Amino acid sequence: MEEIDSHKTEKPLNIIFRLILFAISYFFIVGIFQFIGFLVSNVDLNNLDALKTTEQHLIISLFDFVGNFLLLWLFMKYVDKEKFIKLGFSIQNKIKEIILGILLGVLIMGLGFLTLLMLNEISFYEFNYNFKEIMYSILVYIIVAFVEEAIFRGYILRNLMMSSNSHLALVISSILFALAHGFNPNMDWFSYLDLFLAGILLGISYVYTRNLWFPIALHFSWNFFQTLLGFNVSGQDFYSLIEFKIEEKNILNGGDFGFEGSIFSILIQVLLIVVIFLYYERIKSKKLQN
């Protein structure tokens, strides 16, 4: 396990001030780039809730990516006074984690889809193959995974761990992660619970490794294969390779929120959180014994 900055501690008030400053800067810097993205993609600014094409999502995501990484670079250089890579981007010996993250996303969504089919919660009715849409979707979800993991795990969780217990920091960052999706369509209390657990799942390996590649890979794969198999992603409707009908919207199939609104998503995430926690605790205890 990596232990980057494990020795570094700061006063809680310093961290709180830094994160507040980060949040304020986010709305100005990232907000400007997102606004430009809306203009370039010809989104109707008077009706932002209208469905957007995958190409529009990609253009907006690209501007969002530039804005977020500019913000992170500025804060790491001038506020945190650390190298940018210390957000968790060291790639050395991380290929296995990337592959594992991608495979987990495929496995979870594939099993979820098949389970709901067998339970007659959903019914398949057509394939909707479009190579360009698939390529656009891959790019969109790669960007989303990089941006959200760099912000919530790489910066927010990393900073919180400098002033508090690592697992408390994980809980706080996961609450913020769930709240950040509050403007997504079709949100309810169950959706918030699922997104909170997603924050725990994506962040728990970072607590032990200070590295982002596994959560980035899992985040990308989870979202991409969720939409490819016909589900909404966190309440949002995107292009899908497979189209299905939901017989009756409920917490088994997730309804309009997607698979993430399903009880199966909750159970899978809890199981993975426990497995990952036990795995890293076992490694930690072995290191202490040696």
pLDDT in tens, 81-139: 999 999 999 999 999 999 999 999 999 999 999 999 999 999 998 999 999 999 999 99
Q: Which of 39-53, 203-217, 266-280 has the lowest average pLDDT? A: 39-53
Q: How confident is the model at residue 3 (pLDDT cuts 50, 70, 90)?
A: very low
φ and ψ of 183, to 5 deg: -90, 0
Instruction: Calculate ∠ Cα 36-39-45, nearest 5°.
Output: 115
Q: How confident is the model at residue 275 (pLDDT cuts 50, 70, 90)?
A: very high
Average pLDDT over residues 214-224: 98
pLDDT reading at 271 higher than 80: yes
Average pLDDT over residues 19-31: 96
Those residues with Cβ within 8 angstroms of residue 78's Cβ, 6 or more apart along the chain or in another chain: none
- Nearest-10 Cα torsion for 223, 102, 114, 270: -80
The rounded percent of the chain whose pLDDT value lies above 90 is 82
Q: How confident is the model at residue 49 (pLDDT cuts 50, 70, 90)?
A: low
pLDDT reading at 289 higher than 90: no
pLDDT reading at 4 higher than 90: no
The pTM score is: 0.94
Per-chain mean pLDDT for the chain? 92
Q: How confident is the model at residue 219 (pLDDT cuts 50, 70, 90)?
A: very high
Contact 71, 80 (CB under 8 A): no
Q: How confident is the model at residue 284 (pLDDT cuts 50, 70, 90)?
A: confident
Q: Which of 10-14, 107-111, 237-241 has the lowest average pLDDT? A: 10-14
pLDDT at 171: 97
pLDDT reading at 10 higher than 90: no
pLDDT reading at 1 higher than 50: no
pLDDT at 2: 45
pLDDT reading at 5 higher than 50: no
227 to 89, 120, 162: CA distances (angstroms): 26, 19, 36
pLDDT at 52: 78
